[in-house]
Amino acid sequence: LAERLCWRRFNERRVPTGRRTSPPGCRTCCRICTMAGRGTREEDRVVVIRFGHDWDPTCMKMDEVLYSIAEKVKNFAVIYLVDITEVPDFNKMYELYDPCTVMFFFRNKHIMIDLGTGNNNKINWAMEDKQEMIDIIETVYRGARKGRGLVVSPKDYSTKYRY
């Protein structure tokens, strides 16, 4: 009864206080697997999942960008947030040790993206440019629709961020 929400979707309705309301969630990975899987409304869209903590400054920056582009990418992508404390099941599997991680899925398959950083599995920094994030999601969508498991980012981030 007192289950806490483990994920949020950005295409949510607003309440008068300005806070977002969340759809029902669960504390297990089953909901996340369903979100990224087949037989859902998201079957023909890229599922973008931000793993992290709501209180983390890096996640807050990324969440701002994701929230601002959610309406623009709604035809080919859906964006979710997952708290890695609430749902620790994926922490080892996807090596979620960074404060903020964004991953892409299409039809229950993890789509990797070559950003020039050496880590093709995820974005582990806050993207501040909205158009760059839209371009990345669109590139992932186009590649995934063609059956590719690895796509190349439209921009090389090898020198932009330090690792």
The pair of three-digit structure tokens given for residue 8, joined into one six-digit string? 């949020």
Q: Residue holding tokens 């796509």?
A: 151
* Model confidence pLDDT, tens digit, residues 1-13: 223 333 444 444 3
- Does 17 have pLDDT greater than 50? no
Question: Is 7-11+23-152 in CATH node 3.40.30.10?
Answer: yes
Mean of pLDDT values over 69-78 = 94
Mean of pLDDT values over 59-65 = 92
* Model confidence pLDDT, tens digit, residues 40-57: 555 789 999 988 888 889
- As a whole number of angstroms, the distance between CA 111 and CA 127 comes to 18
The pair of three-digit structure tokens given for residue 64, joined into one six-digit string? 């701002």
Domain boundaries, the chain: 7-11+23-152
- Does 135 have pLDDT greater than 90? yes
Looking at residue 21, its pLDDT comes to: 39
Amino acid at 134: I
